[in-house]
């Protein structure tokens, strides 16, 4: 993980040099910008860590309240699979739009920032809703491919699959939270996400204690997903009070279209999985068979989703598929950013 962080940092150096930026490390903490970063950093870190705090709390409760062994492991491995779409979609989009949020906020362009946040939410819904559906459908084959070997038994795989499914319910909300927190940070407001996040931790704890008894470790994963949905809603409503009334219709249209396209995608994935039913067995079969049971349904799902997006005329998919780096204004002429 440390090497991954170093690699992520190093990847940005060539791009900076291409734009004429030459960075030299400096330890001069007296600079005003450094002091400002230090002042904002503490609440920012806590705000971004809310999901991680909830996950740690899930593990502690699983250790003491779920009978038998394996609950903590199931949560850990399930979370590892859930982190993939979160990083690929939520964190990636949040990092990409943050500079535009910051520019609009610095100019005092409230209408522009409101429009950009709405566009970012539309992108999240169009990308993350199918990711949630796909992760639910492919949880069991993915676990067989990545985890189910040697002492990782069929029973362990099934338990972990239920955890993945419950986590996957909230993938779109996890992604949206990352985007909205960046909007607050662009306004140099690091307190509001912390306050909302603190209440969200309390909500997650309450849901944990309610759902752990009937559902075991899967109930803990589901409580984290539900808490993320509430967190996203609270961030939206509070930000609306800062920026003015949202243009909800485009966001609602994007959500409805994404749900409809995801339903078609689900049919495609289910059909391919059903056709591959004899490939491998309960233990997943050979490595080749396991790869096929993940890759083919995933490819079919992506194809079905793109076809549905074309039929439904979803502009957000076109934004995501553009190869050149462009601002939201370039991909959407109606954007206030120029």
- CB neighbour list of residue 327: distance below 8 Å, 6 or more residues apart: 100, 335, 337
Structure tokens at 301: 């799902």
Query: With 70 as the cut, is the pLDDT of residue 328 above it?
Result: no
Tokens of 305: 């989703």
Q: Using one digit for the tens of pLDDT, what is the confidence trace for 83-115?
A: 899 888 988 899 889 999 999 999 988 889 999
Q: Please, is 13 exposed, middle or buried when counting C-beta atoms within 10 Å of its C-beta (0-12, 13-18, 19+)? A: exposed
pLDDT in tens, 258-287: 999 999 999 999 999 988 875 555 556 788
Max Cα-Cα span within the chain: 67
Kindly report the pTM of this predicted structure: 0.84
Residue 202 token pair:
């309390």
Task: List own/partner pairs for 14-19 with CB under 8 A and 24 or more apart.
Answer: none
17-65 residue pLDDT tens: 888 888 777 777 777 777 777 777 777 677 667 767 877 888 899 999 9
pLDDT band at 235 (very low <50, low <70, confident <90, very high): very high
Tell me how far apart the alpha carbons of residues 85 and 131 are, in angstroms, rounded to a whole number.
7
Q: What separation in angstroms does the CA of 338 have from each of 51, 100, 327?
A: 34, 10, 8
Burial tier of 123 (Cβ tally within 10 Å: 0-12, 13-18, 19+):
buried
Angle between helices 50-65 and 217-243 (to 10 degrees): 160
Q: What is the pLDDT of residues 283-317, one digit of tens each?
A: 567 888 899 999 999 999 999 999 999 898 888 88
Cα 148 to chain center, whole Å? 25
Residue 71 and residue 63 in contact, taking contact as beta carbons nearer than 8 Å: yes
């Amino acid at each position: 993980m440390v090497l991954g962080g170093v690699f992520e940092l190093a990847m940005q150096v060539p791009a900076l040099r291409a734009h004429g930026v030459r960075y030299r490390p400096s330890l001069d903490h007296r600079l005003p910008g450094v002091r400002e970063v230090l002042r904002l950093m503490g609440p920012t870190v806590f705000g971004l860590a809310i999901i991680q705090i909830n996950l740690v709390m899930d593990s502690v409760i699983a250790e003491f309240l779920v009978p038998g062994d394996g609950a903590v492991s199931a949560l850990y491995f399930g979370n590892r699979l859930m982190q993939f779409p979160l990083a690929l979609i939520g964190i990636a989009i949040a990092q990409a739009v943050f500079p535009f949020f910051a520019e609009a906020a610095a100019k005092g362009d409230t209408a522009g920032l409101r429009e950009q946040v709405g566009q970012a939410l539309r992108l999240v819904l169009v990308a993350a809703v199918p990711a949630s559906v796909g992760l639910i459908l492919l949880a069991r084959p993915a676990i067989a491919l990545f985890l189910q070997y040697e002492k990782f038994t069929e029973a362990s795989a099934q338990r972990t699959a239920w955890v993945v499914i419950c986590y996957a319910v909230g993938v779109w909300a996890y992604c949206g939270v990352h985007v909205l927190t960046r909007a607050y940070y662009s306004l140099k407001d690091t307190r509001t996400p912390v306050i909302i996040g603190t209440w969200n931790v309390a909500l997650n704890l309450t849901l944990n204690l309610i759902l752990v008894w009937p559902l075991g470790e899967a109930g803990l994963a589901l409580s984290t997903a539900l808490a993320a949905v509430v967190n996203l809603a609270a961030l939206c409503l509070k930000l609306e009070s800062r920026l003015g009334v949202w243009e909800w219709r485009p966001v609602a249209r994007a959500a409805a279209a994404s749900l409809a396209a995801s339903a078609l995608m689900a049919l495609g994935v289910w059909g391919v999985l059903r056709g591959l039913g004899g490939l491998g067995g309960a233990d997943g079969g050979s490595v080749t068979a396991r790869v096929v049971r993940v890759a083919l349904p995933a490819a079919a799902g992506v194809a079905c989703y793109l076809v549905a997006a074309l039929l439904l005329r979803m502009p957000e998919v076109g934004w995501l598929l553009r190869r050149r780096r462009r601002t939201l204004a370039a991909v959407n002429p109606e954007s206030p950013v120029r």
